[in-house]
């Protein structure tokens, strides 16, 4: 196990800055997920930690020791990629023990280690098969077993589940999380799939354009996003974002007559007093269509349509030209009439210009 520290890390390709002033400490045994849109610099950061890409400036430290000048093989890391490369002509058992054989580890030790990973990954029945005869999920397990058999200090995983069918991915994700906790190996996992990040991570590192946007536990990023980008990248269906316009005693949803006021407990005083234009971020789970018209929280907004996703019923409503989403909480499915309730505890306010979140502490 190792603690990994990235200290003012910059990685440039010619004039292009792929990783921009990244600072991060990954604790011993921690499972950190790098999350962000395609091209934001996740893989480049991972490859730099692995020793496959050189830092332009800044340092990579393992347990406080600078490893910038060590090659990948000198860093005691194991890496698993999206596409598994197993040796097709070797049986699964031979594939798994390959790294140990290559290092000249004693036979008895190899046998002991093989038994250990076979047990953890439940690969007993597959040991004498060839990779080509296994489904992709099982092949990925073999790749993971091969990665951990030599006790790496750090496990680096780059979208290891994205080539696996949806139906097996869920199961593999669960197993992977379980295994990582069992092995307690410091792990960095790269993905652009926020659901994967939310379910696996001790902490998520959210990236955009080469920079870290936010670091935090999944719930922290979900409930306290620092910006519109954070708020909308995490959560499915996505967070609604509505322009607010100041009116007497409150704020109006732009493009409509819908007022959110202090009187009906929707809007705190500080949000009205705030000098900047605000946007309201609110997740669909905090906007409800109900039968009752509780005047303290309901607002009159026409409902456009209602649709089901599994057990959950969602509804779409329109404010101005934009469609937003909420959850239909009515006891029985009904038509397009009902009362739209906003749960003020789910309100997130963002500066309309910078996209940064504004709270009572930062509003002044």
Q: Round to whole Å and give the CA distance between 68 and 7.
A: 11
What's the closest the beta carbon of residue 173 comes to ligand ATP, in angstroms?
Answer: 17
Stretch of 42-50, 88-96, 172-180, 356-364 lying at the interface with ligand ATP (CB under 6 A): 42-50
DSSP secondary structure of 312-335: EEEEEEEETTEEEEEEE--SS---
Dihedrals φ, ψ of 193, to 5°? Answer: -100, 110
Min dist. Cβ of residue 171 to ligand ATP (A): 23
Backbone angles phi and psi of 79, in degrees to 5? -130, 140
- Beta-carbon contacts of 180 under 8 Å, excluding residues fewer than 6 positions away, are 31, 155, 187, 200
Is residue 274 within 8 Å of 363, Cβ to Cβ?
yes
Among 39, 135, 302, 320, binds ligand ATP (CB under 6 A): 39
CB-nearer residue toward ligand ATP: 45 or 227 = 45
Among 4, 6, 18, 123, binds ligand ATP (CB under 6 A): 18
Q: Would you give the binding string for ligand ATP spanning residues 163-202, x where CB under 6 A is met?
A: -----------------------------x----------
Member of 22, 33, 35, 40 binding ligand ATP (CB under 6 A): 40
Contacts of 16 (CB under 8 A, 6+ apart): none
Omega of the bond leading into 237 within 30 degrees of 0 (cis): yes
Q: Which span sits near ligand ATP by CB under 6 A: 11-19, 56-64, 134-142, 258-266?
A: 11-19
Identity of the residue, 15 or 332, whose beta carbon is nearer to ligand ATP in the bound complex = 15
Intra-chain end-to-end CA distance of the chain, in Å: 45
Work out how close the CB of 19 gets to ligand ATP at its nearest, in angstroms, rounded to a whole number.
8
Residue 317 CB, nearest distance to ligand ATP (Å)? 34
Choose, by CB under 6 A, the member of 13, 87, 174, 307 that binds ligand ATP. Answer: 13
**Of 44 and 264, which CB lies nearer to ligand ATP in the complex structure?**
44
Q: Taking CB under 6 A as the rule, does residue 214 contact ligand ATP?
A: no
Nearest approach in angstroms of CB 39 to ligand ATP is 4
Of the residues 22, 26, 32, 43, which one makes contact with ligand ATP according to CB under 6 A: 43
Provide the 10 A C-beta neighbour count for residue 148: 22
Of 12-20, 175-183, 325-333, 352-360, the window that binds ligand ATP (rule: CB under 6 A) is: 12-20
Question: Least distance (Å) from ligand ATP to the CB of residue 6?
Answer: 14
Taking CB under 6 A as the criterion, the residue among 4, 6, 9, 36 binding ligand ATP is: 36
- For 159, the token pair is 């979208």
Instruction: Kindly give the residue spans of alpha helices, DSSP state H, lying in 103-184.
Output: 107-121, 136-148, 166-183
**Cross-strand partners of 197:** none
Q: Which residues contact 209 (CB under 8 A, 6 or more apart)?
A: 20, 40, 41
Q: How many residues does the chain have?
A: 364
Q: Please name every residue paired with 22 in a beta bridge, in sequence order, or none if there are none.
A: 9
Opening angle at CA 334, ends 331 and 339, nearest 5 = 75
For ligand ATP, which is the closer residue by CB, 11 or 267? 11
The correct pick among 42, 139, 169, 288 for binding ligand ATP (CB under 6 A) is 42
**Which residues would be at the binding site for ligand ATP (CB under 6 A)?**
13, 16, 18, 36, 38-44, 192
């Amino acid at each position: 196990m190792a603690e990994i520290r990235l200290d003012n890390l910059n990685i440039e390709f010619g004039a292009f800055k792929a990783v921009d002033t990244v600072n991060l400490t990954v604790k011993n045994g921690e499972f950190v997920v790098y999350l962000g849109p395609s091209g934001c610099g996740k893989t480049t950061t991972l490859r730099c930690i692995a020793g496959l890409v050189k830092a332009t400036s800044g340092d990579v430290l393992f347990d406080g020791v600078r490893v910038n000048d060590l090659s990948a093989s000198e860093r005691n890391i194991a890496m698993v990629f999206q596409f598994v490369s197993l040796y097709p002509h070797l049986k699964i058992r031979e594939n798994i023990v390959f790294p140990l054989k290559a290092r000249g580890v004693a036979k008895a030790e190899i046998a002991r280690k093989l038994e250990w990973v076979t047990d953890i990954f439940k690969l007993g029945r597959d040991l004498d098969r060839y990779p080509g005869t296994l489904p992709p999920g099982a092949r990925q397990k073999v790749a993971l077993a091969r990665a951990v058999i030599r006790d790496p200090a750090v496990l680096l995983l780059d979208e290891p589940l994205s080539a696996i069918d949806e139906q097996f991915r869920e199961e593999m994700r669960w197993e992977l999380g379980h295994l990582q906790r069992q092995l307690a190996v410091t792990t960095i996992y790269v993905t652009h799939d926020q659901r994967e990040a939310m379910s696996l991570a001790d902490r998520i590192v959210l990236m955009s354009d080469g920079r870290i946007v936010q670091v935090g536990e999944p719930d922290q990023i979900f409930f306290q996003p620092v910006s519109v980008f954070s708020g909308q990248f995490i959560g499915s269906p996505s967070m609604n974002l509505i322009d607010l316009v100041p009116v007497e005693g409150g704020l109006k949803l732009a493009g409509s007559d819908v007022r959110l006021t202090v009187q009906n407990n929707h809007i705190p005083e500080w949000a009205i007093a705030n000098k900047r234009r605000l946007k309201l971020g609110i997740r669909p789970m905090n906007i409800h269509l109900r039968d009752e018209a509780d005047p303290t929280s309901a607002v009159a907004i026409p409902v456009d349509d209602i649709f089901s996703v599994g057990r959950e019923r969602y509804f779409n409503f329109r404010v101005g030209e934009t469609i937003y989403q909420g959850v239909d909480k009515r006891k029985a499915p009904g038509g397009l009439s009902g009362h739209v309730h906003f749960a003020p505890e789910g309100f997130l306010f963002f500066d309309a210009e910078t996209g940064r979140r504004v709270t009572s502490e930062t509003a002044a």
